[in-house]
A = this chain, B = another copy of it.
Amino acid sequence: MDQEKPKVRLFVDQPLDEEQAVSLSREQAHYLFGVMRLGPGANVALFNGRDGEWRAEVAEAGKRGGVLVCRARSAPQGEPPDLWLMFAPVKKARTDFIVEKAVEMGVRRVLPVHTDFTNAERWRQDRQEAHAIEAAEQCGGTFVPEICAMAKFDRVLADWDPSRRILFCDESAVGARVSLDGLEPGPWAVLVGPEGGFSDSERARLRGMDCARAISLGPRILRAETAAVAALTLWQVAAGDWR
């Protein structure tokens, strides 16, 4: 077996286990054998979001498909903490960016919400699922967060399970001291509003929820994607797997 470090990391929606054969889709075969020019015997890193990362070897390489065989587990399954990212989609490139960052920063679920001031292009759930998989392939992760359909923010709050706490980035708190007090392990959702912030009634509603906690993100106004990374960083270091 070629022990060279795999040049390619691939997500496959199939079981992975010792000597398990994995068949490739046409697109995956094209990428591995056409674009990356791998041939039989080459090493590929595989993950499926459940069984860790496996070093697999190309057994058959064809134009329309191929077969890999798992040789050994190269990394254990890494589950992120029980954290969701809830955000109001913004412009396309920045929304893509937020999904990518959610994968890198380690969240379990990405939940786009339509708030009063959301002024977004369409949310393509299937496209964002593919985007999350690509981000996990690139960042070496073994977990792909669940990508939800867009939901109305007021409905989401109406149905909220109060055992999951909400950390909401409050633009009206710009300049307040940033405090990590009260960020304790457990189920949480980080909530980032749209570029225009939350409406007064949304803010009042959040402030009325016992499970919600506002956080300031310093004296400057941050764009949505920056606020997402900053808030996820603070949560991870205080309550997540960065501790």
Contact = CB atoms under 8 A, between A and B. Distances in A.
Interface of A: 78, 97, 100-101, 104-106, 138-141, 177-178, 180, 216-223, 226, 229-230, 233-234, 236-237, 240-243
A242 B218 contact: yes
A220 B97 CA distance: 17
A11 to B, nearest CB: 15
Nearest to A142: B220
Contact of A104 (B100, B216, B222): B222
A130 to B, nearest CB: 18
Contacts of A218: 105-106, 236, 240-242
Nearest to A178: B242
B139 A222 contact: yes
20 contacts: A78-B219, A101-B226, A105-B218, A105-B222, A138-B223, A139-B220, A139-B223, A140-B220, A140-B221, A177-B242, A177-B243, A178-B242, A178-B243, A180-B237, A216-B242, A218-B236, A218-B242, A226-B229, A229-B229, A230-B233
A162 to B, nearest CB: 27
Nearest to A94: B97
- Secondary structure dominating the interface of A: loop
Most B CB atoms within 10 A — which of A139, A218, A221? A218
Copies of the polypeptide in the assembly: 2
Contact of A178 (B220, B221, B222, B237): B237
Most B CB atoms within 10 A — which of A141, A178, A229, A241? A229
B236 A233 contact: no
A234 to B, nearest CB: 6
B229 A242 contact: no
A78 B140 CA distance: 39
A176 to B, nearest CB: 10
A128 B162 CA distance: 45
A104 B242 contact: no
A226 B105 contact: yes
A141 B175 CA distance: 12
Contacts of A241: 218-219
A104 B223 contact: yes
